[in-house]
Amino acid sequence: MDSKAEVIKISAPEYNLNVLAMDPAIQDFHDLEELHITRSNIPELGTHLLWTLTKLTVLNLSQNNITQPLDESFRGLNNLKELYLDDNRIYSLPSGTFRYLSSLKILSLQRNRIQQMMPRMFEQLGKLQVLKLSGNYLRELNPESFKNVLQDLRVLECRGCSLQKINTEVYGYLPHLTHLDLGYNEFESLSSDDFCNLTSLIYLGLEGNKISALHDEQFVHAVTLKKLNLSKNRIYRVNPAAFLNLPNISEIDLSYNKLEDLDKTCLEPVAGTLQKLSLSGNHIPTSVLRTFLKGAPGLRDLQLADAGLTDIPPGLFPEKLGVLNLSGNTLSFLLPDSVPEALLELDISRNRFKGLSDDFLQRIEFLTSLNLERNPWACDLCHIVPMLERSNTSVALRDVKCQTPYIFEGRSLGALQMSDLNWCTSSSFSDGANFFLTGDDDRIGIIAATASILLLLLTGIAVIGAFCYSRRHAAKYYTHEEKRTAESEAIFENQSALFGDERELSFKFPMDLNEKKISIATIDEEFKKEPIVNGT
């Protein structure tokens, strides 16, 4: 390797790390300005190893196995500006560890095993501007670690440090702090005094905590604040005066909380400066949104992704809105008047659109950004024609992927011709299900209709079965009567049984009721059996 090299980068794939140690040969690179050795299992830095690298400005030793860097490890690095020790196994940083790095401006110690901040840990780091401590189990920020040493600090990040409260004394030692990121900690509530000493703060990140409500005058002392991130908390209530005395605020992020109702006066204190508002992930009714958004007529960017919206009534959004995110809802149709004329960027991905009307496409014709991905686009003559006609002039339309009919699934709209399309009522064969359908809704309709027909058939079978069962029982009561009726008819049809061969009438009836035999006898024969005795 050329000893006059100015930048050295040594790394390895994530699944096949290097096993290296710091080699004294590194001292020969006197012109070295940047040294990056990552994913190499370096266990320690050694002492005086970097002594000769006086031109070094960037030292990156992230993703190694360093457990405790020593002050002597950095001796001689008077010009070092950036030091990255992320993703090591550092568990302790004694006082004065970085005392030889008087020119250091960026110190990153993210995702180590530091559990306690020692007093004077940042001694001699008077020029430090960025300090990143995220991913260490600190539980609290020790004011003694910051006292009289970090006067010029601009950025402090301590995300995921298990902080439960804010020690306002810390901020008193950071008069020039502009960026404070305390996301993904354990804060459950905020006090207006929490930020009283942050007189230069521009960005405050509190996302991913457990805050449930914003009270009146919550940020009254953060008068310089421009960006406020409160996303992914548990906020269900925002008091009307929560944003009072924020004359410079331009962005507020309340996304993915538990908001369902908002006071219409909440945004009035910030109406003159608020440019971007994120309410994604909150299921707020459109009737509430309408009155709430009237408090910010100058809004330029509105985020309403995953908000449970089923329709967008005209006049819902501020007229000056330039960026609108409606992704992840259940929208299937948009009226032209539902989006502002000034709109430049629109995201309607992850909805239920099968097509867009010609009037709506004319309204959004001059957008600079349009996201249409992951919709169930139906590439047939009923839904896609207006989009197909404009596909040659719009990249977003040309890249639309068909979902139905089956024969076009996955094909881009730009690859289709008008002659390829079928009517929406014509069936398209679905290979997977082996039946005809035109889309998901049609499939549901077919299933519902089939179920209804089966139900009617089962009902009819049950009625017929019941009728036959009742007829069978009724037949038992009429069996003997039918037999007698048949015999009577047989007698009259066969008169020889009644009159005999000699045409003589017989009055002899069978005595055995169970065996109904027909017998015919004449009067003369009866007299012969019982002779009449003359009484004279």
Instruction: Say what the pTM is.
Output: 0.77
Per mean pLDDT, which range of 8-12, 139-143, 322-326, 478-482 is the poorest?
Answer: 478-482
pLDDT at 434 over 70: no
Distance CA 283, CA 482 (A): 76
E strand residue ranges, 101-236: 106-108, 130-132, 155-157, 179-181, 203-205, 213-214, 227-229
Q: Between these two residues, 312 and 194, which has the higher pLDDT value?
A: 312
**Closest Cα to residue 244, out of 274, 265, 218?**
218
pLDDT over 50 at 101, yes or no: yes
What value does the mean pLDDT take over residues 284-293?
95
CB count, 10 Å around CB of 422?
16
pLDDT at 346 over 80: yes
For residue 450, the model assigns a pLDDT of 67
The pLDDT score that the predictor gives to residue 477 is 44
514 burial (CB, 10 Å; 0-12 / 13-18 / 19+) is exposed
Q: Which helix (H) or strand (E) element contains residue 429?
A: strand 428-430
Is 287 a residue whose pLDDT tops 60? yes
Residue 531, pLDDT above cutoff 80: no
* Beta partners for residue 100, in sequence order: none
Tell me if residue 420 falls in helix, strand or coil: helix
- Rg of the chain over Cα atoms, rounded to whole angstroms, equals 45
Measured CA to CA, the distance from residue 189 to residue 193 in angstroms comes to: 12
Confidence of residue 404 (pLDDT cuts 50, 70, 90): very high
Residue 510 scores a pLDDT above 60: no
Query: What's the pLDDT band for 25 if we cut at 50, 70, 90?
Result: confident
How high is the pLDDT of residue 329? 98
Cα separation of 53 and 140, whole Å?
36
- 411-425 pLDDT, tens per residue? 999 999 998 999 874
Query: Distance between CA atoms of 62 and 90, rounded to whole angstroms?
Result: 11
The predicted pLDDT at position 81 comes to 98
pLDDT (mean) for 208-230:
96
pLDDT at 468: 67
478 pLDDT more than 80: no
**Average pLDDT over the chain, rounded to whole?**
85
CA 176 – CA 199 distance, rounded (Å): 8
Q: Which of 49-53, 252-256, 367-371 has the lowest mean pLDDT?
A: 49-53
> Where are the alpha helices (H) located in 73-194, listed in sequence order?
143-146, 168-172
Mean pLDDT for 278-284 is 98
Q: Are 76 and 48 in contact (CB under 8 A)?
A: yes
The more confident residue out of 330 and 441 is: 330
Tell me, what's the pLDDT at 467? 66
Please, which pLDDT band fits residue 196 given cuts at 50, 70 and 90?
A: confident
Average of pLDDT values for 282-289? 96
Residue 161 has pLDDT above 70, yes or no: yes
Weakest-pLDDT range from 191-195, 206-210, 339-343: 191-195
pLDDT at 82: 98
For residue 449, the model assigns a pLDDT of 57
Answer whether residue 427 shows pLDDT above 90: no
Task: Quick: pLDDT tens for 439-457.
Answer: 444 445 556 656 767 888 8
Residue type, 151: Q
pLDDT score of 17 more than 80: yes
pLDDT for 435 equals: 32
Residue 427: exposure state from Cβ atoms within 10 A (0-12, 13-18, ≥19): middle
The two counts, helices (H) then strands (E), for the chain are: 10, 20
User: Percentage of the chain surpassing pLDDT 70?
Assistant: 81
For residue range 133-157, what is the model confidence (pLDDT) as tens digits?
999 999 999 999 998 889 999 999 9
The residues near 388 (Cβ < 8 Å, ≥ 6 apart) are 379, 397, 413, 416, 418, 421
Burial of 230 (0-12, 13-18, 19+ CB in 10 A): buried
Least confident stretch, 118-127, 202-211, 470-479: 470-479
Higher pLDDT, residue 186 or 484: 186
Give the H or E element holding residue 302.
strand 301-303
Separation CA 391–CA 508 (nearest Å): 105
- pLDDT at residue 508, as a whole number: 46
Q: Which of 241, 277, 285 is nearest to 261 (CA)?
A: 285
Q: What are phi and psi of 443, to 5 degrees?
A: -60, -40
- Asked if 69 and 95 touch (Cβ cutoff 8 Å), the reply is no
Nearest-angstrom CA–CA distance, 60 and 465: 85
With tokens 């993210």, the residue in question is 110
Q: Is 473 helix (H, G, I), strand (E, B) or coil?
A: helix
Q: Is pLDDT above 70 for 480?
A: no
pLDDT at residue 367, rounded to an integer: 96
Work out the pLDDT band at 471, boundaries 50, 70, 90.
Answer: low
Query: Do residues 157 and 131 touch, judged by C-beta distance below 8 A?
Result: yes
Residue with tokens 């009155």: 291
The Cα 443–Cα 445 span in angstroms is 5
Structural domain boundaries of the chain? 387-438, 441-477, 490-529
HEC readout, 258-281: CCCCCCCCCCHHHCCCCCEEECCC
CB 314 within 8 A of CB 333: no
Q: Look at 59 and 471; give whichever has higher pLDDT.
A: 59
Give the 3-state secondary structure of residue 532.
coil
Q: Does pLDDT of 535 surpass 50? A: no
